[in-house]
Amino acid sequence: MRLPRASHAAAPPSDPRPGVLPPEGVEPDDLRRALGRFATGVTVVTSLETDRPRGVTVSAFMSVSLDPPLVLVALDQARTLGPVIRATGAYAVNILGEDDAALSDCFAGAPSEPGRDVFCGAAWRPGALGMPILERAIASLVCRLEDVVPVGDHHFLVGRVIAVSTGHGHASPLLYYRRRYLRIERATTTPLEGLADH
Ligand SMILES: Cc1cc2nc3c(=O)[nH]c(=O)nc-3n(C[C@H](O)[C@H](O)[C@H](O)COP(=O)(O)O)c2cc1C
């Protein structure tokens, strides 16, 4: 199927108008800047390497399907946790609360004390399938690895959710926006039209 050419595609490469993209391709910095405007939560994806808990900070997490219950995380193909998850066939997604930016930094490999070699000193317990559940997570989902889809320089890890836990109270999430952590200092919430609150 031939797609109609987008109107901006006709612009000459030297078009100086701000926000107008060249006909094909984008500069990596421009791509990062645009994607950074999409706010996400922050998770630590964990698994087990011969009884040792391992984890990595991941913002590319989304729900895919409710029935069956499927979620997806996107891991750079270079991530050291990828082969661990494939060997175990399972992982846990731990959603971080707003006070855990330091945990996020540590699991992203920033110099920290205690370091990532000792699981960032994070308190954890084995959940379903023995997957490491962070005690401080505001919610955790244990997943059996269902599919691995190579996409560009990443792998989509599709997981079937087999157990969930949610923290007590209404802790706010840690957010990631424009390559910085974002805290919600003041929030108003609005119900969606026609959708009951949970
Ligand atoms: C807030 C935040 C979000 C991140 N999200 C992802 C992600 O979605 N996927 C990914 O592959 N790496 C992501 N990273 C990068 C990894 O956490 C980081 O590169 C880590 O050091 C990789 O560990 P490794 O070198 O042992 O594989 C993120 C880092 C931060 C700080």
Residue 49 Cβ < 6 Å to ligand 1: no
Distance 185 CA to ligand 1 centre (A): 26
- Residue 186 resides in a domain: no
pLDDT: is 24 or 116 the higher one?
116
161 assigned to some structural domain: yes
pTM of the model: 0.88
User: To the nearest whole number, what is the mean pLDDT of the chain?
Assistant: 90
- Specify the amino acid at residue 150: P
Residue-number span of the structural domain to which 122 is assigned: 40-180
Residue 43, ligand 1, Cβ within 6 A: no
Whether 198 is in a domain gets the answer no
What pLDDT, on the 0 to 100 scale, is given for residue 10?
A: 43
Q: What is the pLDDT of residue 94?
A: 98
Higher local confidence (pLDDT), 171 or 99: 99
Task: Give 122 Cα–ligand 1 centroid separation in angstroms.
Answer: 17
Percent of the chain topping pLDDT 90: 77
- CA-to-CA distance for 101 and 61, rounded, in angstroms? 17
Residue 185 lies in a domain: no
Q: What is the pLDDT of residue 1?
A: 44
CATH code for the domain of 129: 2.30.110.10
**Ligand 1 binding pocket mutation candidate from 43, 56, 182 (most atoms within 8 A of CB):** 56
List pLDDT tens digits, range 125-134: 999 999 999 9
Q: Is it the case that residue 70 has pLDDT exceeding 80?
A: yes
Q: How far apart are CA 161 and CA 128, in angstroms?
A: 10
> How many domains in the chain?
1
User: Residue 197's pLDDT is what?
Assistant: 73
Q: For residue 26, tell me if it sits in a domain.
A: no
Q: Is residue 170 situated within a structural domain?
A: yes
Locate the ligand 1 atom nearest the alpha carbon of residue 154 and give its number: 11
Q: Is there a domain that residue 91 lies in?
A: yes
98 CB near ligand 1 (under 6 Å)? no
23 in any annotated domain: no
Q: Which of 38, 58, 117 for a ligand 1 pocket mutation test, highest count of atoms within 8 Å of Cβ?
A: 58
